[in-house]
Amino acid sequence: MKADPEAQRRLLELQAIDTSLAQLGHRRRNLPELAELDRLARELSALEDERIRVQVSVDDIDRDIARLERDIEQVRVRADKDRTRLDAGTGPAKELEALQHELATLGRRQSELEDAELELMEQREQVQATLDAVAQRLEKARTERSDAEQRRDAALGELDHDRDERDGARAPLVDTIPADLLALYEKIRESTGVGAALLRSGRCEGCRLELSGSERSRVKAAAADEVVRCDECRRILVRTAESGL
Ligand SMILES: [Zn+2]
């Protein structure tokens, strides 16, 4: 392939832009904020599960407390009724004695139920404290997520800006390179990321290998408009004053 030496040298400029674009792409995919957001998403999901689990415990205890309160109320109503009948003092003595006996039983029952309720209320306080702690951790993680999202968006904005800048420089440069040379460059770049390399002081900057004596003679003998490629890495070797030929 033949190409104007100037056009060949412009491949190096194009390569610099493409390398920079590839680096920007790599940075975009590997933003630390993305890993942080992944971690926070897992943390938030675990905390949300925990919150639901603890809330279920609170609800269970509340249900038990409500049931105990209904039982206590029933006992109270029954005792009030018994007491009214007892105070009226009517009826056979045996019946009054039975009422007294029942009142004593109801009193014991009420105090048992009240003890159980108290215990449940203490349990509820503990579980509520756990729930509050989980809610706080959730809030903290949500704040962290929103911070990380802002930082990610700012970083992406900067990367977009840098990419647009390079795209802007790339387009007019591409227009100055012959189509067949550009196609060869793109084909090589597709597989290795680098399509054209400077030959500097007898060394290919693509694969970093020194040209052998015979290869050097071949490159040196090639006409300036001949497109030469590295024997080792097959990249387009661009010759400049620095090539050391
Ligand atoms: Zn090479």
pLDDT digits over 13-60, tens only? 999 999 999 999 999 999 999 999 999 999 999 999 999 999 999 999
How high is the pLDDT of residue 15? 98
Could you tell me the two tokens for 123? 């349990």
How high is the pLDDT of residue 160? 98
57 CA → ligand 1 middle, Å: 68
How high is the pLDDT of residue 39? 98
Average pLDDT of the residues in 95-122: 97
Burial zone of 50 (CB within 10 Å; 0-12 exposed, 13-18 middle, 19+ buried):
middle
Average pLDDT of the residues in 207-227: 96
Task: Judge whether residue 199 has pLDDT over 90.
Answer: yes
Mean pLDDT of the chain: 97
Pairing of strands 228-229, 196-200: unpaired
Average pLDDT of the residues in 95-107: 95
Alpha-carbon dihedral sign for residues 152, 155, 161, 166: negative
How high is the pLDDT of residue 245? 85
Residues 6 or more apart whose CB falls under 8 angstroms from that of 20 comprise 162, 166
φ, ψ for residue 210 (rounded to 5)? -75, 140
203 CA → ligand 1 middle, Å: 8
How high is the pLDDT of residue 89? 85
DSSP element (H, E) containing 196:
strand 196-200
Q: Which residues have C-beta under 5 Å from ligand 1, the single-atom ion?
A: 204, 206-207, 230, 232-233
- Give the bridge partners for 238, in sequence order: 198
Pairing of strands 203-204, 236-239: unpaired
Q: How far apart are CA 237 and CA 12, in angstroms?
A: 10
Report the 3 state secondary structure along 123-182: HHHHHHHHHHHHHHHHHHHHHHHHHHHHHHHHHHHHHHHHHHHHHHHHHHHHHCCCHHHH
225 CA → ligand 1 middle, Å: 19
Closest by CA position to 153, among listed 63, 3, 34: 34
How high is the pLDDT of residue 91? 82
Q: How far apart are CA 19 and CA 176, in angstroms?
A: 19
Q: Which pTM does this prediction carry?
A: 0.77
Task: Judge whether residue 136 has pLDDT over 90.
Answer: yes
Q: Which residue has the tokens 């006992």?
A: 75
How high is the pLDDT of residue 84? 95
Average pLDDT of the residues in 166-182: 97
205 CA → ligand 1 middle, Å: 6
